[in-house]
């Protein structure tokens, strides 16, 4: 037999059964390792998505609330008498005692001039539970979270670019620049808006839509019982011919905690207490630059948390708002147990001892439109 042919036949011989089984075993080990790696990477990716959504929930909530509250008290040229340093007598119409009903539907009878003036002079109201008059409007309120009402005039003029059209029957606000009208003059109505004027005291001043938003946390997102706490907003508007706070719209899912604390301007620059019952007392009667019994635009003392509600005496001096938001992940994280406590101002939430991840967010917002009226050189 030719030895070369024998060698060629041996070279073409296939795998033995043992060799095949070893190869399959190695392949299975490699596949198992790849599958484990894939599952780990997928799990890590899902966890990153959950955390990113949680962070985005908190950041977006703070952004929305901060942007809204920063406009609180914007009434163009309107200035309440108690903040007007040119008034040399005791101011009238100083809010005191009970606060205005935030859910009062509009009618000429119940929206009196005093009620409308209170809406302007108290641009922020805070509650730790749903007011009785708002029970039907704000359903499924999440216990332990606050409710905040924010008011201001729209920052754009109706009918202009990127602004709503001028709608007949809607609620608009108009202030005056005319020197013969007091800075505390205003028109808040659905009328003709021909009584407030520009500097020429002839041309009607522009009107702006009234913005009244109520923010609260409810215990569901889309369907009752889905268990997703959600930040929602009710807005005052004209719908089907009726002016009222409209049913809430869900804004941001995953907001589980919401606490609002208020910075009150209760001391003047001289350190004396604010007193609106009296006329302005000047620290120096000669230059009249520093009032001794009016606020200076800065919060004094610790920030205040409202109980069932703050009084008008407190709210009239709000110059800053501290916001605390607790964001919860949309889904549970396997293997994670939340044993942490989350500081929300003067109180702490938790531990929840469940499998959701959470993160607390906080910021302080200055009410520029209020503080700007009170600051002196």
Residue 324: what are its φ and ψ, rounded to 5°? Answer: -125, 125
Question: What pLDDT is recorded for position 10?
Answer: 56
Q: Do the beta carbons of residue 170 and residue 188 sit within 8 Å?
A: no
Nearest to 344 by CA among 363, 359, 324: 324
Structurally, the chain folds into a number of domains equal to: 1
Q: What pTM value is reported for the model?
A: 0.88
Is 159 domain-assigned? Answer: no
Is 256 domain-assigned? Answer: yes
Is 317 domain-assigned? Answer: yes
User: Could you give the CA distance from residue 326 to residue 257 in angstroms, rounded to a whole number?
Assistant: 4
Question: What pLDDT is recorded for position 281?
Answer: 96
Biggest distance spanned by C-alpha atoms of the chain: 132
pLDDT tens-place string over residues 139-150: 999 999 999 999
pLDDT tens-place string over residues 267-303: 999 999 999 999 999 999 888 999 999 999 999 999 9
Question: What pLDDT is recorded for position 99?
Answer: 96
Which residue reads 């007011």 in tokens? Answer: 131
Stretch 71-82: mean pLDDT: 97
Which residue reads 């979270």 in tokens? Answer: 145
Task: Read off the tokens for 71.
Answer: 């406009």
Stretch 209-219: mean pLDDT: 98
Stretch 345-353: mean pLDDT: 95
Is 1 domain-assigned? Answer: no
Nearest to 234 by CA among 122, 57, 103: 103
My answer on whether omega of the bond before 215 falls inside 30° of 0, hence cis, is no
Question: What pLDDT is recorded for position 4?
Answer: 55
Is 273 domain-assigned? Answer: yes
Question: What pLDDT is recorded for position 9?
Answer: 55
Residue 50's domain comprises 44-76+90-102+123-149+214-374
User: Could you give the CA distance from residue 35 to residue 43 in angstroms, rounded to a whole number?
Assistant: 12
Give bridge partners of residue 207 from the DSSP assignment: 174
pLDDT tens-place string over residues 1-31: 555 555 555 555 677 888 888 888 888 888 8
Is 165 domain-assigned? Answer: no
Is 259 domain-assigned? Answer: yes
**Average pLDDT over the chain, rounded to an integer:** 93
Which residue reads 């033995």 in tokens? Answer: 16
Query: Which stretches of the chain are assigned E, i.e. beta strand?
Result: 124-127, 147-153, 172-175, 186-189, 207-218, 230-239, 242-245, 249-253, 255-264, 318-328, 342-344, 347-349, 358-366
User: Could you give the CA distance from residue 174 to residue 41 in angstroms, rounded to a whole number?
Assistant: 59
Is 363 domain-assigned? Answer: yes
């Amino acid at each position: 037999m030719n030895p070369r042919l024998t060698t060629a036949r041996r070279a073409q011989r296939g795998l033995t059964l043992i060799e095949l089984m070893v190869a399959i075993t190695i392949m299975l080990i490699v596949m198992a390792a790849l599958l484990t790696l894939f599952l780990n990477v997928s799990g890590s990716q899902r966890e990153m998505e959950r955390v990113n959504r949680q962070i985005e929930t908190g950041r977006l909530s703070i952004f929305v609330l901060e942007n809204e509250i920063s406009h609180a008290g914007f009434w163009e040229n309107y200035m309440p008498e108690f903040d007007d340093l040119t008034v040399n007598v005791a101011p009238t119409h100083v809010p005191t005692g009970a606060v205005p009903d935030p859910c009062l539907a509009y009618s000429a009878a119940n929206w009196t001039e005093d009620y409308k003036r209170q809406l302007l002079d108290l641009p922020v109201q805070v509650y730790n539970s749903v007011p009785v008059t708002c029970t039907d409007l704000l359903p499924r309120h999440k216990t332990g979270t606050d409710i905040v009402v924010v008011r201001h005039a729209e920052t754009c003029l109706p009918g202009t670019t990127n602004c709503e059209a001028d709608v007949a029957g809607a609620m608009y606000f108009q202030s005056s620049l005319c020197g013969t009208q007091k800075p505390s003059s205003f028109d808040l109505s659905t009328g003709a808006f021909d009584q407030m004027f520009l500097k020429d005291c002839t041309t009607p001043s522009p009107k702006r839509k009234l913005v009244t938003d109520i923010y609260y946390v409810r215990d569901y997102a889309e369907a009752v019982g889905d268990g997703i706490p959600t930040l929602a907003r009710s807005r005052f508007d004209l719908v089907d011919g009726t002016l009222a706070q409209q049913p809430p719209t869900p804004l941001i899912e995953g907001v589980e905690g919401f606490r609002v604390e208020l910075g009150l301007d209760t001391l003047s620059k001289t350190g004396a207490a604010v007193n609106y019952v009296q006329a302005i007392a000047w620290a120096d009667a000669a230059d009249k630059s520093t009032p001794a019994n009016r606020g200076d635009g800065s919060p004094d003392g610790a920030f205040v948390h409202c109980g069932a509600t703050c009084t008008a005496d407190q709210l009239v001096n709000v110059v800053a708002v501290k916001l605390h938001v607790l964001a919860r992940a949309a889904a549970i994280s396997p293997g994670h147990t939340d044993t942490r406590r989350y500081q929300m101002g003067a109180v702490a939430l938790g531990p929840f001892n469940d499998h959701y991840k959470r993160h607390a967010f906080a910021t302080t917002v200055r009410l520029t439109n209020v503080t700007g009226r009170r600051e002196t050189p």
